[in-house]
Amino acid sequence: MAEQPQPISPVKNFFAGGFGGVCLVFVGHPLDTIKVRLQTQPKPQPGQAPLYSGTLDCFKKTLVKEGVRGLYRGMAAPIVGVTPMYAICFFGFGLGKRLQQRKPDDVLTYPQLFAAGMLSGVFTTAIMAPGERIKCLLQIQAATGETKYSGSLDCAKQLYREAGIRGVYKGTVLTLMRDVPASGMYFMTYEWLKNILTPEGKSVRDLSVPRILFAGGLAGIFNWVVAIPPDVLKSRFQTAPPGKYANGFRDVLRELIREEGIASLYKGFTAVMIRAFPANAACFLGFEVAMKFLNWIAP
């Protein structure tokens, strides 16, 4: 079972979670760009080589063709959404814990922490789904050489003009399928590792920076082990032309398995795993540092 600091402060969670999310985006966005391009690259014609042979090849081609800025393509959308999203994410986790407590000092079991994490995934979908839709479209636009959208805001406007709010929120069900179980795994793993790494007789709140980084990074890896198959489906669905997948994710799943096999559900796996550790280590460190600062200025 895990030790949890009390009480939960929505205001502190908002600012600390937002700061952690900004840290995550800056560290992880380049490899997120690589991941999306690998997941959405077209199937090569017979006798032709694929556009990208792997993570390193995609990274090199992006750098050569677009420079460092290409790796940060589409970052405006997640940056704009990241502060409220991670604030809501961490607040949702805290609220999920509180709802399962009979008394404020109750210590939750790991299944209860998993359930609290799943609630955070539900909370963040309203912001995550449109942000992911815009980000993916901008990331693949640069790879194809077309320039349909001049930026995140222009992309959002065009999507709304073409299909209304449904166009902006395309892929919401798949975002939920990805984030609800993955968020449960994410927070449960982080709390578990913090407890494992806390020296005997010490408080989990006094964990050293290297141990926080290790716990956060490994939590990110566990998160993506659960999340990557629905993430592949989501990326395909959100970047497909209107009407291509009439039955939603079921059509995407059938097409991928029929044409590329079950392994296609793990496209971009290497890029995801390389990104997961440093990005989520930065996120949780940012959160913990911000929380300590907020507790210092407003005990």
Q: pLDDT digit string (tens) for 153-189?
A: 899 999 999 989 999 999 999 999 999 999 999 999 9
pTM of the predicted model, to two decimals? 0.79
Instruction: Kindly report the number of other CB atoms within 10 A of residue 107's CB atom.
Output: 11
Instruction: Kindly report the number of other CB atoms within 10 A of residue 47's CB atom.
Output: 5
156, two tokens? 């959002």
State the pLDDT at residue 287: 94
Q: pLDDT digit string (tens) for 226-241?
A: 999 999 999 899 988 8
Please write down the HEC assignment for all residues of 167-224. HHCCCHHHHHHHHHHHHHHHHHHHHHHHHHHCCCCCCHHHCCHHHHHHHHHHHHHHHH
Q: How far is CA 106 from CA 53, 123, 157, 193, in A?
A: 51, 24, 47, 19
State the pLDDT at residue 201: 81
Which is nearest to 187 in space by CA: 102, 108, 267, 269? 108
Task: Enumerate residue ranges in the chain where pLDDT < 50.
Answer: 2, 4-5
Domains in the chain and their CATH numbers? 10-42+49-297 (1.50.40.10)
Whole-angstrom distance, CA of residue 284 vs CA of residue 242: 38
